[in-house]
A and B are shown apart, each in its own frame.
Chain A
Amino acid sequence: MAAPFILEVRDLRIAFDTPGGSVAPVEEVSFALRAGETLAIVGESGCGKTLSALSLLRLLPKTLHATGEIRFGGNNLLALSEADMSRVRGNEIAMVFQEPMTALNPVLTIGRQIAEPLMLHNGLDRAAAWDRAVDMLRLVEIPEPGRRVNEYPHQLSGGMRQRAMIAMALACSPKFSSPTNRRLLST
């Protein structure tokens, strides 16, 4: 018997209102995922892959409305309150952004950006979170993690930034991560 689904998306519809009525770039999307599985969503440019992924974390721009059902850990994510949602984000569902250049805050060190969710979700103190940040950088094979952890995004190469993004997403050991990046495999 197969393991139960950890994520089930049913009849996802993402729409925005125009003067001429509601337009839906994403309609009738359903998929499900078991623990340990990898799901790749493939499609031509502009077919709604990114919108679907963003809707899982309720990160859609305010002008877009998602309807349907996203069941995760017994909850419908589309119906959760903002406070409950922020416990799910990072802690249970992580995300690797497409553009590591713009998805890292230029004025914060890499270490702080990795350590912050650890202090937030896992209750680690500053020193422990920092050590874990160094470990995460080592895990994604960034050379000299002890030095890089103190550096700012502009001091890292593109590949290192991409790895740092992954380290950030994986830091809290989420149940499910939603990479929206095609270049993930090429780095």
Chain B
Amino acid sequence: MVTIHYKSKIAPYVYIAPAVLLIVVFVYNPLVQNVILSTFEWSGISRDKVFVGLENYRYLFEYDVFWTAFKNNMWYAVISLVFQVGLALVLAAVLEEKFFRKFQPFLTTVYFLPSVLSVTIVGFLWGFIYNPGFGLLNQFLRLIGLASWAQPWLANSKMAMYSIIAVSQWQYTGYCMVFFLIAIQNIPQERYEAAEVDGAGPLAKFLHITLPGVKEMLLVVSIFTINGAFRVFNIVEVMTQGGPNNSTQVLGSLLYQEAFWYDRMGLASAISTVIFAITLAITIFQLKTSRSETL
């Protein structure tokens, strides 16, 4: 390669400086500070900070709401894996079948559509659907003779979390499906043709060609689904704000409330650090897995 690019030693630094500075100052700097701040007891109102070591973490790990939130995040992850990975992959495989391919543009558009809406809009929309009085869901259950199932979905502390998780599946299953469509389209068509010659049915083709063919995408989508499940906040804040009785609390909403409702900033920083540790662990796991596969 020609060497004209090296003429100026300063030029490259000038080009990258704005980006690097912004990232260091506004992304890394607060991250480091957050870890430090989590070892203090402090409030947003006064400037006094008392060093308490790991006390915030000890408090957190003995705080039952923290474990409720953690459990809810786990459920969020598990159910999202079933729909946004499992169902999304099956749907993508179906839409790539010869017979269904002509409907693919329409169906993709419809299934993807909810994901472009803001979570606030989706949250309110489903608030209406779950409304015990005029809500669509209860009316529908009565219509098909399941009146006994009708209930105040978001006010029932046993059902509220699942009701919220269901909304996210509605919103993002089609979004994830699109990633699998692309992965399947990248599988060489000859493999399917060869399998057909051998008399393989749709299920056999799915298990022996599609599944191995989308392995990498499966990992990518699973990781961002799990990561997303541990960072969820918006939908909870819009629909229930963690209630009733903290039953829909997730780490994100707990962090927000401890910080901005109760002004327990140190505790909130500790929750942030826990979220960071979890998502970091997931990412490291992803890097490890994808590396071992390429070796």
Q: Report whether chain A binds chain B.
A: no
